[in-house]
Chains A and B, each alone.
Chain A
Amino acid sequence: MAVDEGLKIELGKQGVLVTTIEELYNWGRRNSIWPMQFGLACCAIEMIATTMARYDLARFGAEVFRPSPRQADLMIISGTVTKKMAPQVVRLYNQMAEPKYVIAMGACAISGGPFKQGYNVLKGIDRYIPVDVHIPGCPPRPEALMQAFMTLQKKIDGQHLTGEDRPRFLNAEAQGEFPVPVQGEHDLEPASNPGVWTVPVVMQGTGNGDQGSGNSKS
């Protein structure tokens, strides 16, 4: 059972540390998130800058960027995901060991970004894999990536070990495999993963001042 916060602080003043297994487990996990070496485009340069001396990301526990997905906890999708690269991204995500997290860095990874009209651009990587933190920006500054990292750490802090709302990696029934798309004749098949992403429905002409200007794009 978790100890009352006030009591914890009082005990802390006397030099007694009280914790639960869940807190300890999450503390260990969130202070040692190892990202995977995965950069696609310009956002990757900002990610590299974040790991260098000026904006050191190793302070937050991302000590090494693992080249192998099996040793990594976090995948920072930094850069435009093309439809040619999408199957490989999803396969790499599947090859990571649980618990795994995804940060979609930059506008391209969130929704296709400035190249959304491109025929080969995947309109956001969250069509296929579940994303934990999105960072808007083109490219986001290294400080923004660090804030996303801290947001992810707060999210990990709030994950529970038991109970209905426990995360996917602790739940034996939860889906663990995300199907890898294949190149079809005109587009990736499937176009998105329905378990992860639903096509947004656009309402036409019901908003204020939106008469006749609604057009449906998917």
Chain B
Amino acid sequence: MMASNPYFSLAVLFLAALGFGLAPLALAWLWAKVFSPPKPNKVKNAIYECGLESRGDAWMQFNSAYYLYAIIFLIFDVEAIFLLPFAVAFTGLTAAACGAMLVFVLLLIEGLVWAWAKGVLTWQ
């Protein structure tokens, strides 16, 4: 009964792929346990900075000028992803659902118009 399931071979292949990835990791863990003990120490685990001691935190406040990239990404990537299933299925949706989707699209179109007018979309 299970072998006649159309997804059975897929399950077998999935388990084989999982095994293919996990087997070397398991072998490495076993090797480390038997032969090669871990030897951490403070200097070995320190942050690499070309042999110097690193000072301070690596977290920096990111530049606010990158907001343009965020807006353009929203328009051209996120909206496109949502438009694709909408374009296929909008004939079967209720009017309210279409309205909600239209609001979303119009908001992002407004962002696109603004970016276009600002001259962001042309190379300098």
Chain A contacts to B: CB under 8 angstroms? 68-70, 87-89, 91-92, 94-95, 97-98, 161-162, 169-172, 176-177, 180
Known contacts A169-B36, A172-B37; A177/B43 CB under 8 A: yes
Interface residues on B, range: 10 to 19
What residues on A are CB-neighbors of B48 within 8 Å? 68-70, 95
Closest-CB distance, B40 to chain A (whole angstroms):
8
Does any Cβ of A come within 8 Å of B52's Cβ? yes
Does any Cβ of A come within 8 Å of B46's Cβ? yes
Complex CA distance for A68 and B52, rounded to whole angstroms: 13
Name the residue of chain A whose CB is nearest to the CB of B47. Answer: A95
Complex CA distance for A169 and B51, rounded to whole angstroms: 22
Name the residue of chain B whose CB is nearest to the CB of A179. Answer: B43
Please report whether the interface of chain B is mostly helix, strand, loop or mixed according to DSSP.
loop
What residues on A are CB-neighbors of B44 within 8 Å? 94-95, 97, 176-177
The answer to whether B36 touches A177 (Cβ under 8 A) is no
The answer to whether A94 touches B41 (Cβ under 8 A) is yes
Known contacts A88-B51, A177-B41; A170/B36 CB under 8 A: yes
Residue from A91, A98, A170 in contact with B43 in the complex, judged by beta carbons closer than 8 Å: A91
Enumerate the 4 nearest inter-chain pairs by beta-carbon distance, A residue then B residue, closest first.
A88-B51, A176-B39, A172-B37, A94-B43
Does any Cβ of A come within 8 Å of B35's Cβ? yes
Name the residue of chain A whose CB is nearest to the CB of B43. Answer: A94
Known contacts A88-B51, A95-B48; A177/B42 CB under 8 A: yes
Known contacts A161-B35, A170-B36; A92/B41 CB under 8 A: no
Complex CA distance for A89 and B52, rounded to whole angstroms: 9
Complex CA distance for A176 and B41, rounded to whole angstroms: 8
Complex CA distance for A98 and B35, rounded to whole angstroms: 13
Closest-CB distance, A129 to chain B (whole angstroms):
12
What residues on B are CB-neighbors of A94 within 8 Å? 41, 43-44
What residues on A are CB-neighbors of B93 within 8 Å? none
A-B contact list, 28 entries, CB within 8 Å: A68-B48, A69-B48, A70-B48, A88-B50, A88-B51, A89-B51, A91-B43, A91-B46, A91-B51, A91-B52, A91-B53, A92-B51, A94-B44, A95-B43, A95-B46, A97-B44, A98-B36, A161-B35, A169-B39, A170-B35, A171-B37, A172-B39, A176-B39, A176-B44, A177-B41, A177-B42, A177-B44, A180-B43
In the complex, which of the residues A69, A70, A95, A169 has the most CB atoms of chain B within 10 Å of its own CB atom? A95
